[in-house]
Amino acid sequence: MKIEDLNLNPALLKAVKGMGFVEATPIQEKGIPEIRAGKDVVGQSSTGSGKTAAFALPILEKIQPGQGLQALILTPTRELCVQVTDAVTEFGRYLHIRAVSVYGGVGIEPQIRAIRTADIMAGTPGRILDHLERRTISFDKVKFLVIDEADKMFEMGFIDDVERIVSRVPKERQTMLFSATMSADVHGIVRKHLRSPVTIKGEIYVDKSLLKQVYYDIKAFEKFSLLVHLLRNKTSGLALIFCATRREVDTLAKNLKMQGLKAMAIHGGLTQNRRLYALDSLKKGHISVLVATDVAARGLDIRDVSHVYNYDVPKTSEEYVHRIGRTARAGDKGDAVTLLTERDYENFSNVLRDHTLDIRKADQPQFEKVSFVRVQREFGGERRPQRGYGRGGYGESRGRGGYGERSSSYGQGRDSRSNYSRNSSPSGERRPYRGGSRSPGSHHGGQGRGRYNINV
């Protein structure tokens, strides 16, 4: 559908076309008419499918500038909060509507001043609760409530905070909830807070005709060397690398830079300025590799990604699909590469349960062995580099306001081996699956992904 066919407010249409967008995505085509009609909406669609525009454009049509805070958008992370605010500001540039970002990790006084004149607010739960406790926010005039990336919101432990915030918003409102996956927690919030909602779905599958999916089954000590080889010799554009923990992200990014690659890290433990600097560096072409955790990367509009690397395998097929969906967009081809070692066999088995995925085993190329420096903490908080692979578990802590990430841990010590499959192949190697005869790469299928233009 062409943008003109949405019959947007002329000022909105002018802004959208000025941003270079031509066609609406499926989630926009289905969602905008329902939201414009005043209905509560549940939207399910993958990252990068245009959810922000789907709820922002019809809301902007109904906002009265200068009449107080009328729309509240809850986001799980600071980056998504800023991105939503930037998008709303761009869309509403000719409507004189003011949007504000509210998140933790920065001074609260500038936010207090900006809130006084804001029409729309995007915020993370922790900092919004801080403002409510200080009585620096009033939701009395809020007519629109959006819960964005709801599954990640609850996975990060914000469900109680979300409930407290929703209880302070007037009951006579229009509520929209957007989520990539529909967990039990998400269904619960829908039943409790949305009135006869309309459910819409966008593109939530992988276009296998454009996306090549492969995995390398390798030894743990070879994984970094293979990654460096692939980045140097097989990666033509931007690369997005996913790790399981913050520490792994930091360590991998530092080692990639030691190998002369233009890489940066992004995760919830970094300061807001450092996270935004990494994204800005990527957009300006100053770096070509971004190493991230799932939570930090969720919802971010990162374009022109040619390769997605799973340095650590995600725990579910849904997370795998959302990771690899960041490449092969808008008709461009892309590659999704999984570096599989023994500790990830069980997770990979979970991924392979989605029979629509076509992940083929790749032959291991010849590559140069390079050193890997593991940074460990000493007493007093100092760090010392150690070469080789560490065996300890790595963990993350859960925070508020979007700067914590869900706890997780990985280990390669003896106690952790019970977490992985003990099935063996005839050659004596362990297989990445449990209790079945399927082998990696035996799944076929997949469906087409539509062409996206507004992908925020």
Q: Are 101 and 181 contained in the same domain?
A: yes
Does some domain include residue 446?
A: no
Closest-CA residue to 261 (of 299, 322, 309): 309
| Residue appearing with tokens 């869900």 | 406
- Strands 394-395 and 409-410, by their bridges, are antiparallel
160: phi then psi, degrees, rounded to nearest 5: -65, -40
Cα–Cα distance, 3 to 8 (Å, whole number): 8
Q: Are 299 and 159 contained in the same domain?
A: no
Q: Would you give the DSSP letter of residue 406?
A: -
Closest-CA residue to 357 (of 277, 446, 451): 446
Q: Are 178 and 225 contained in the same domain?
A: no
In this prediction, residue 17 carries a pLDDT of 84
Q: Are 38 and 155 contained in the same domain?
A: yes
Question: For residue 145, is it left (φ>0), alpha (ψ between -120 and 50) or beta?
Answer: beta
Task: Identify residue 331 by its one-letter amino acid code.
Answer: G
Does some domain include residue 435?
A: no
How are strands ordered across the β-sheet holding 99-102? Answer: 99-102, 120-123, 71-74, 144-147, 174-179, 41-44, 198-201
Residue 14: which CATH number? 3.40.50.300
Supply 34's token pair: 């329902």
Q: Are 247 and 365 contained in the same domain?
A: yes
Q: Are 169 and 220 contained in the same domain?
A: no
Does some domain include residue 110?
A: yes
Cα–Cα distance, 396 to 359 (Å, whole number): 29
**Containing structural domain, residue 190:** 3-201
State the CB neighbour count (10 A cutoff) for residue 122.
Answer: 29
- Strands 41-44 and 174-179, by their bridges, are parallel
CA atoms within 13 A on the CB side of 408: 19
Helical H runs in 171-222? 184-193
Does some domain include residue 431?
A: no
Residue-by-residue DSSP string for 254-298:
HHHHHTT--EEEE-TTS-HHHHHHHHHHHHTTS-SEEEE-HHHHT
Task: Identify residue 96 by its one-letter amino acid code.
Answer: H
Q: Are 340 and 387 contained in the same domain?
A: yes
Q: Are 197 and 215 contained in the same domain?
A: no
2: exposed, middle or buried (Cβ count in 10 Å: 0-12, 13-18, 19+) = exposed
Final residue before a domain boundary, out of 132, 166, 201:
201
304: exposed, middle or buried (Cβ count in 10 Å: 0-12, 13-18, 19+) = middle
Please give the C-alpha separations between residue 453 and each of 51, 306, 385, in angstroms, as whole numbers: 12, 17, 45
Let me know: does 217 contact 340? Beta carbons within 8 Å.
yes
Q: Are 63 and 175 contained in the same domain?
A: yes
Supply 246's token pair: 């913050």
Number of H helices, E strands in the chain: 15, 18
29 contact partners, CB below 8 Å, separation of at least 6: 1, 6
In this prediction, residue 391 carries a pLDDT of 35
Question: pLDDT of the chain along its 456 residues, tens only?
Answer: 788 888 898 999 999 888 777 788 888 999 999 999 999 999 987 666 788 999 999 999 999 999 999 999 999 988 889 889 999 999 998 999 999 999 998 999 999 999 999 999 999 999 999 999 999 999 999 999 999 989 888 888 898 999 999 999 999 999 999 987 787 888 889 999 999 999 998 765 555 667 899 999 999 999 999 999 999 999 988 899 999 999 999 999 999 999 999 999 988 777 767 877 887 887 777 889 999 988 666 656 676 788 999 999 999 887 888 788 777 665 567 899 999 999 999 999 999 998 888 899 999 999 999 999 986 543 333 344 544 443 333 333 333 333 333 333 333 333 333 333 334 333 333 444 433 334 444 433 333 333 323 445
Q: Are 323 and 244 contained in the same domain?
A: yes
Q: Are 237 and 195 contained in the same domain?
A: no
Task: Identify residue 355 by its one-letter amino acid code.
Answer: H
Does some domain include residue 442?
A: no
In this prediction, residue 4 carries a pLDDT of 84
Q: Are 93 and 22 contained in the same domain?
A: yes
Residue-by-residue DSSP string for 71-119:
EEEE-SSHHHHHHHHHHHHHHTTTTT--EEEE-SSS-SHHHHHHHTT-S
In this prediction, residue 297 carries a pLDDT of 63
Does some domain include residue 21?
A: yes
Closest-CA residue to 456 (of 264, 270, 178): 178
In this prediction, residue 2 carries a pLDDT of 82
Task: Identify residue 7 by its one-letter amino acid code.
Answer: N
Does some domain include residue 378?
A: yes
Q: Domain count for the chain, please give it.
A: 2
Does some domain include residue 450?
A: no
- pTM of this structure: 0.60
